[in-house]
Structure 1
Amino acid sequence: MAAQRHPSDSVQLDIPVANSMNPSEEELPPFPDPEVSSMALDHKPGAKLNYTYYPASSQKNHKSPFSQTLLVFLNGLMLPRSSWDASIQSFLEKRIVSRLPYPGLLSYDRYGQGESDSDPSDKDPPPCHGHDAMSAVQDLKQLILQIWREHLDAAKPTHFPNLIFVCNSIGCALARLFTQTHPGTVSGLLFLDSIMANSDYQSFWPDPDAADFNKHSLPQGVSPSQVRQTRQKYRETFHPDVPNQEGLSRRNLAQLLPAADAPRLEGYLGQGPYLTVVGHDWETFAEQSFTGSLHTPKLLTMTYANPAWRRYNEGLTLITDAGRSVGPLVAVGCGHFIQRDGPGFVSDEIVSLLDRVVKRVEQVKERGGAS
């Protein structure tokens, strides 16, 4: 059975204001102001990426243990960086109320997403197959370098931060490719319903038109025509050959990441990164798939799509060193877009991941307490 964790019931945050709390509460560190801005990457000067950046916390008389760390949020294809706002606010509130340090936080819209410009290297207008995942990874590295150079470590422009990625959907594939391409830079990964990078999103459904198809193998109450319609809708919506408004092509994604359980990743200081793998709630996903635009029968989702996704998530737990992965967890009440359905859940898992990345005793020490 999968471990299950529930999203927090409330994501409404009461940010402290002057004279609104008792004396002990007044001592809380201030809530940070984000920088909401845009920048042109050095290798693509003709377009801008929009981002939101929160500086790392600082302690009196010394730096935060996270002063050299950057936590980066990686979007899926369908939701922009604003989809992380509630999770970020919830996370910051939890750290501030607990008087615990936190790293710098960065969310951004990739080229062709949200408020960012289209990728200037794309030859065709969207929707298109303008660039692939490796191009997005190169852009991500350049963005991190420029953010680091401008905001975090101006005295050491060649230094690279310790990275933690929080990702949804195709963002998880980008995080894997980044960690593979730049070994030793990533200490933590939180995968929220990763894309099945090696899937065409059609093959896990039975094929009623195959020569060896047996209609009696279908669940009771499901007809071959329903399966045929579902396969076709998934083919038209999710197949790697389908272009998107972002211009991020998935045509070669299965070649870039052919297996869920490989290759093994090398993280910060040569060890495997700490990893948390989270999957959607089967019932919630089935309900959303039925009520959404595809109208997929719930029994089909429960019988074929959900088990395939579960097997993929189980494989993902093996891409780091033994003892460094958690999951697959189930985000109860959340569909594919876990940060939208359960921002409190996401912030809880970020806190848990930080506790594994940085020893708890260090955090207690930062607070001036004793273990």
Structure 2
Amino acid sequence: MPTVILPSKPDAPIAYELYQGDIASNLLVVCLNGLGMTQAGWKPTIKLIRKSGFSPMPWILTYDRFGQGASARDPRESWPNKDPGYAHTLDDVTDDLHELIQTRCPDRSSRIVFMNHSIGAHIARRYADRYPRVVEGIIFLDSNPGNTDYESTWPNPKDPSFNLEQMTPPGTSLDEYEAAYSKMITIFSASAKNNEGFDRRDIKNILPDPSMPKLKGSKYLDKGPWVTVVVHELEQFSQEEWDTMKIPLDMAAMYTQPFRTFNKAHCLVRTIQHRAYDAAFNQDDLTEARKWYASFTENNLPKGQTSYSRSSGPGGQHVNKTESKATTVWSIEELSRGLPKLIRLALRSSKYYSKRNDSITIQAQTQRSRSANTDDNHLKLVEELRKIYGEQVPGTTSSEKIKKYEALEKSARESRLRSKKEQSSKKAFRKGRGVDE
């Protein structure tokens, strides 16, 4: 497995995998592991993505945080201000992730989609808040709550107010409850130490509300990032807690409900979406853009205004003594006239955009002649417009995919209804036993 050295930690390699996408795509999908998990767990998902036929195919980055999988231990462990067993905080992990992206994917760091599991949700939210205008989407998979934990949701059997009959499922003995409580707190308490060294003690102060702060999307979006929240069905989640930790099913069901409420609140960070990619666009705008691209050539573009100056680049004494450096300026107003709406709206996000004169400004000085450098500028503009098209205009969604996403919408609606019924049943159950919500 490849490793990379972060400039700030030269003696601690991080293990990662970068799955190459299409050259035309500058979208980077970053997979964030849960606690105690490694990047290997993402391989089946990535295999499905790469088989999906999505175009242009995004690039995908997985990695093991310091202390996970094949990565080195966190050098912060030896810092004098660190408590033993608490190597890195949420902000430390966020800093490391940003440095990793800038080191390995600098050309794809402005359009990021996070796919995160469990505690990875906090990293995604913190990254989007600290580095605004780069996160385009977040997929929350069974998010771990940041503003609470099992120590708060499970009643403490040592507390004087603890009432076994009212606070636990029918037929639960004190020994059974204390054993289950001890297991959950040992693993999931915010102060519990873990093999990775992830210090979770301050997360509830950093992220006290699952729907706040409101996140800013990438520079290509008018609103916040697209958000999708995926959670286990209550019965399945309870079964997994039994299979992995032998937590009785009825206990897991009773005390997992607040976690489901937390995940629902994540939807308010932006909005939940289950629809085909191109369904998010005005269909007339898509048709206009695709028709334009089908017949697009350099001849369709205006000439722009070109000026010349003395070059400082390679090419011998001739280049440096004559004014062969070409600077070509296309005003946004002039360039927009022949472009479709989806491309026009993205021009000011181009790396060649000059705010000073509201233009696309391109320079070339590698050739000996003025005309050759001018031609280079025009070729760069063509390449840039093709790149913008690839970023802004999705591929055509097949009828099969449309049916698939319609089925997902139906499933999401049915899941919400089931969840409401479960909540109503639980309230009725508790009220019948004299337990307040």
TM-score, normalized by the shorter chain, greater than 0.5: yes
- State whether residues 276 and 353 of structure 1, in contact with CA within 8 Å, keep that contact through their aligned partners in structure 2: no
Amino acid at match of 1:168: H
SS in 2 for 1:46: strand
RMSD value, Cα = 2.6
1:72 aligned partner: 30
Unaligned runs of 5+ in 2: 287-392, 403-437
Residues 126 and 247 in structure 1, CA contact (< 8 A), matched pair in contact too: no
Percent identity, please. 29
Query: How far did residue 40 of structure 1 move?
Result: 0.2
2:185 paired with 1:228: no
Q: Aligned residue for 2:137? A: 188
CA shift in 2, pair 1:355/1:275, >3 Å: farther
Pairing 1:273-312 to 2, within 5 Å after superposition: 273-292=225-244, 294-305=245-256, 307-312=257-262
Q: CA deviation at 1:363?
A: 2.6
Offset of 1:314 from its aligned partner?
A: 1.3
| TM-superposition CA deviations, 1:286-310 (whole Å, max 9, x none) | 1221232x311100111122x1111
**CA distance 1:170–1:220, change in 2 (3 Å):** same
CA distance in 2, matches of 1:89, 1:358: 27
2:49 matched to which residue of 1?
91
Deviations 1:22-51 (A, max 9, x none): xxxxxxxxxxxxxx5211011111111111
Deviation digits for residues 259-287 of structure 1 (CA, Å, limit 9, x no counterpart):
11211111113521000011122222212
CA shift digits 1:175-210 (9 cap, x unpaired): 000001011110100000111112231221233333
CA contact (8 A) 1:169 1:193 kept: yes
Residue pair 2:77, 2:84 contacting (<8 A) in 1 also: no
User: Could you tell me which of 53, 57, 61 is aligned with 1:102?
Assistant: 57
CA distance in 2, matches of 1:315, 1:238: 20
Q: Alignment partner for residue 257 of structure 1, among 193, 207, 218?
A: 207
One-letter amino acid of the counterpart of residue 104, structure 1: W
Counterpart residue type for residue 253 of structure 2: M
1:53 aligned residue: 18
Change beyond 3 A, Cα 1:250–1:84 = same
**Pick aligned residue for 2:272 from 325, 330, 343:** 325
Unaligned runs of 5+ in 1: 1-35, 154-159, 327-348
Contact kept in structure 1, 2:14 and 2:65, CA below 8 Å: yes
Indicate if the aligned counterparts of 1:71 and 1:164 stay in contact, CA closer than 8 A.
Answer: yes
How far apart, in 1, do the equivalents of 2:121 and 2:56 lie? 25
- The 1-side partners of 2:154 and 2:255 are apart by 6
Cα pair 2:122 2:146 within 8 Å, conserved: yes
Cα distance in 2 for partners of 1:366, 1:44 equals 44
Distance 1:74 1:127 in 2: 24
TM-score by length of 2: 0.61
- State the 4+ residue runs in structure 1 displaced beyond 6 angstroms: 124-127, 356-360
2:241 partner letter: S
1:271 to 223, 231, 234: 223
1:77-156 → structure 2 map (5 Å cutoff): 77-95=35-53, 100-123=55-78, 128-149=85-106, 152=107
- The SS at the match of 2:179 is helix
CA contact (8 A) 1:265 1:272 kept: yes
TM-superposed deviation, 1:161: 2.2
1:246 partner SS: coil
- Structure 2: which amino acid aligns with 1:85? K
1:140 partner letter: L
**2-side partners of 1:203 and 1:283: how far apart?**
22
Give the counterpart letter for 1:299 in structure 2: D
Higher share of residues assigned helix: 2
CA contact (8 A) 1:127 1:243 kept: no
> Which residue of structure 2 lines up, in the alignment, with residue 239 of structure 1?
189
2:126 pairs with one of 163, 177, 191: 177
Over 3 Å counting, the alpha-carbon distance change for 1:184 and 1:310 in structure 2 is same
Cα distance between partner residues in 2 of 1:183 and 1:242: 31
Please give the secondary structure, in 1, of the residue aligned with 2:61.
Answer: strand
Deviation larger for 208-217 or 244-253: 208-217
1:167 aligned residue (104, 116, 119): 116
Point out which structure has higher relative CO (alpha carbons under 8 A, 6+ apart): 1
| Counterpart check, 1:38 vs 2:69 | no
Whether 1:219 and 2:169 are equivalent positions in the alignment is yes
Structure 2 equivalent of residue 203 of structure 1: 152
Distance in 1 (alpha carbons) for counterparts of 2:281 and 2:69: 33
Give the Cα–Cα distance (whole angstroms) in 1 for the partners of residues 15 and 44 of structure 2.
Answer: 18
Task: Check 1:45–1:55 CA distance in 2 against 1; reply closer, same or farther (3 A cut).
Answer: same
SS of 2:258's equivalent in the other structure is helix
1:101–1:366 Cα contact (<8 Å) kept: no
Q: Describe the SS at the equivalent of 1:167.
A: strand
CA separation of 1:231 and 1:366: change in aligned 2, threshold 3 A: closer
**Selected match of 1:363 from 394, 410, 415:** 394
TM-score by length of 1: 0.71
- Structure number with larger C-alpha Rg: 2
Aligned-partner Cα distance in 2 for 1:113–1:271: 34
Give me the whole-angstrom Cα distance separating, in 2, the residues matched to 1:121 and 1:353.
Answer: 44
Residue 90 of structure 1 aligns to a residue in which SS?
helix
